[in-house]
């Protein structure tokens, strides 16, 4: 039986626990935040019975009175096998935490102030931090890793967590990449990180024998790409992608969408997106999924238009 890996993420409010839990989730951990302490062990057992080998638990002062039980429960799950348990404790300097709470305008969970925005807000946050440090002292003493996030950005913290808890031996990049073809007349993809506008390329729509085809057809791809502009576009686009993707990953992004657009999303964008993914995969530079967002809409609209024309023709003939 494979040993279950459990990471308990805890620490001061505002020190980055949510960022750490999100990074673990991107690594494939089953993450549960703010789980009531009395059900921790039963939850881990249930997950283990269903084959979940990596689990991250977020525990902090929001569990209320249950927090007093946390050290005993952690000691218990550490002694239960087969299970590898580590405690990640996130800390930060008081002035940094005060500044973070001030910038988000959220009250500290243990703040003694009931009305945020008053002159005593900073002192109330500091009171809450001091109380929290005392309440978390027993968890801090059990920490396998203590990370001071005072000088870290959320991207720095994410990289630190991934570096420590990525147990994969694969060299496959951890950035999930999608290349999406689309039509500008249907709007930009909302999640696009890079947008390539290929409407300047020669348009198969104006060639009678190509109009009814799509960018997946070899004749259309040849018309769009087998020329100087098409080849130069593909080269520059590939260079841009090769430059950006490793830097996106370094910055801590987990998903990147590269959008390629033409007027309707049927011919040029489909051909370029397909060619771009083929180039990325051969030789393998970066894994990427290919999605043609508006191709089906264009085909459906074309079919509807053809039916309308046939109906009109029949009515006129009658």
pLDDT digits (tens, 9 = 90+) for 126-185: 888 888 888 889 888 888 888 999 888 888 888 888 888 887 655 555 677 889 999 999
Which DSSP letter does residue 3 get?
P
What pLDDT does residue 111 have? 64
What pLDDT does residue 206 have? 94
What pLDDT does residue 304 have? 61
What pLDDT does residue 284 have? 56
CATH number for the segment(s) 4-165: 3.40.50.300
Q: Tell me the pairing of strands 54-58 and 194-197.
A: unpaired
Q: Write out residues in the chain with pLDDT < 50, as ranges.
A: 113-114, 118-119, 307-309, 311-318
What pLDDT does residue 160 have? 86
Helix (H) / strand (E) element for 307: namely helix 295-317
What pLDDT does residue 306 have? 56
Residue closest to 12 by CA, chosen among 213, 194, 150: 150
pLDDT digits (tens, 9 = 90+) for 60-76: 887 777 788 888 888 88
Q: HSE, CB side, 13 Å, CA atoms: give it for residue 94.
A: 12
pTM over 0.75: no
> With the C-alpha atoms ordered 280, 281, 284, 288, is the resulting torsion angle positive or negative?
positive
How many other CB atoms are there within 10 angstroms of residue 132's CB atom?
Answer: 23
Q: State how far the Cα of 89 lies from the Cα of 79, in Å rounded to an integer.
A: 20
Residue 183 makes CB contacts below 8 A (sequence gap 6+) with 261, 262, 263, 264, 265, 266, 269, 293, 294, 297, 298
Phi-psi region of 137 (alpha: psi -120 to 50; beta: other; left: phi over 0): alpha
> Quick check: bond before 82 cis, omega within 30?
yes
What pLDDT does residue 102 have? 72
Residue closest to 88 by CA, chosen among 164, 28, 171, 36: 164
Residue closest to 205 by CA, chosen among 291, 301, 274: 301
What pLDDT does residue 245 have? 86
In the chain, where does the domain assigned CATH 3.40.50.300 lie?
Answer: 4-165
What pLDDT does residue 164 have? 86
Q: b vs e for 66-101, b when ≥16 Cβ sit within 10 Å of the residue's Cβ?
A: bbeebbebbeebbeeeebebbbbbbbbeeebbbebb
Phi-psi region of 108 (alpha: psi -120 to 50; beta: other; left: phi over 0): beta
Q: Could you give phi then psi for residue 229, rounded to 5 degrees?
A: -65, -40
């Amino acid at each position: 039986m494979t040993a279950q890996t459990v990471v308990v993420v805890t620490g001061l409010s505002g020190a980055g626990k949510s960022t750490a839990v999100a990074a673990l989730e991107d690594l494939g951990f089953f993450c549960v935040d703010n789980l009531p302490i009395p059900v921790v062990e039963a939850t881990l057992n249930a997950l283990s019975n269903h084959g979940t080998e990596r689990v991250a638990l977020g525990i902090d002062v929001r569990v209320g009175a249950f927090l007093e039980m946390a050290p005993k429960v952690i000691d218990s799950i550490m002694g239960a096998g087969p299970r590898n348990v580590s405690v990640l404790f996130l800390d930060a300097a008081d002035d940094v935490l005060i500044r973070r709470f001030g910038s988000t305008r959220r009250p500290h969970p243990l703040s003694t102030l009931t009305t945020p925005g008053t002159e005593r807000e900073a002192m109330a946050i500091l009171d809450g931090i001091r109380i929290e440090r005392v309440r978390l002292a027993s968890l801090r003493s059990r920490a396998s890793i203590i990370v001071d996030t005072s000088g870290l950005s959320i991207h720095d913290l994410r990289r630190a967590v991934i570096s420590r808890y990525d147990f994969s031996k694969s060299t496959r990049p951890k950035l999930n990449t999608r290349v999406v073809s689309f039509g500008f007349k249907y709007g930009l993809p909302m999640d696009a990180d890079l947008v390539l506008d290929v409407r300047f390329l020669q348009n198969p729509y104006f060639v009678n024998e190509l109009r009814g085809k799509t960018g997946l057809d070899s004749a259309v791809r040849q018309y769009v790409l087998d020329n100087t502009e098409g080849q130069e576009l593909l080269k520059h686009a590939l260079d841009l992608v090769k430059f950006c993707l490793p830097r996106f990953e370094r910055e801590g992004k987990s998903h990147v969408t590269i959008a390629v657009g033409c007027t309707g999303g049927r011919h040029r964008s489909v051909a370029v997106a397909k060619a771009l993914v083929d180039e990325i995969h051969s030789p393998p530079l970066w894994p990427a999924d290919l999605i043609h967002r508006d191709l089906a809409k264009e085909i459906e609209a074309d079919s509807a238009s053809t039916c309308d024309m046939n109906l009109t023709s029949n009515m006129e003939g009658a």
